[in-house]
Amino acid sequence: MENKKYLINFLILFPLIYFFIKPFEYEISKILAYIIGNLLKTQYFDNVIIYNGDAYTIISACTCSLEMSLFLGYVLATPKVSIKYKFLYSIFGIFVINIANILRIILILKNSYISDYNFVHNILSFIIFPVALLLNFIWVKILLKIGIVK
């Protein structure tokens, strides 16, 4: 019964969280451009980064809103867990996902000179899903350790 409750909670929370985050994707992309532009000491404007003379636009897919929504839905849907634990782990996970995303975008830009740019971009873009899966695995390990799940 708990598994059903968890699944129902997840199926409700995941789309709600995603539709809540989705309107902020452009603002998130501008923040990412600002951070990455400063880290690489290069020009940026709005959600566009100028790197090695080329312009790169950070679009909605680059914000990891889907991955953050999946992660948050997974954590927040967990039954029998204090909201305090869910909140703290959610903050930690969102921080990790965003750091991984910033590193991913920097790696993409640093390797943009490679002739098959789309291949490099697609390979490096895959990094975020394993990060979210690892965070979910750690969440389960924490719940096992504190005795909430058996």
Active centre residues (catalytic):
62, 104
Task: Please give the structure tokens belonging to residue 9.
Answer: 């909670």
Cα 83 to Cα 3, 11, 38, 47, 80: the distances in Å are 19, 19, 35, 34, 9
Q: Would strands 44-45 and 48-51 be described as parallel, antiparallel, or unpaired? A: antiparallel
Q: How many CA atoms lie within 13 A of 116 on its CB side?
A: 5
Q: Which amino acid is at 140?
A: V
Distance CA 94, CA 23 (A): 17
Distance CA 73, CA 70 (A): 5
The vertex-65 CA angle with 121 and 52, nearest 5°, equals 35
Give the chain's length. 150
3-state secondary structure of 72: helix
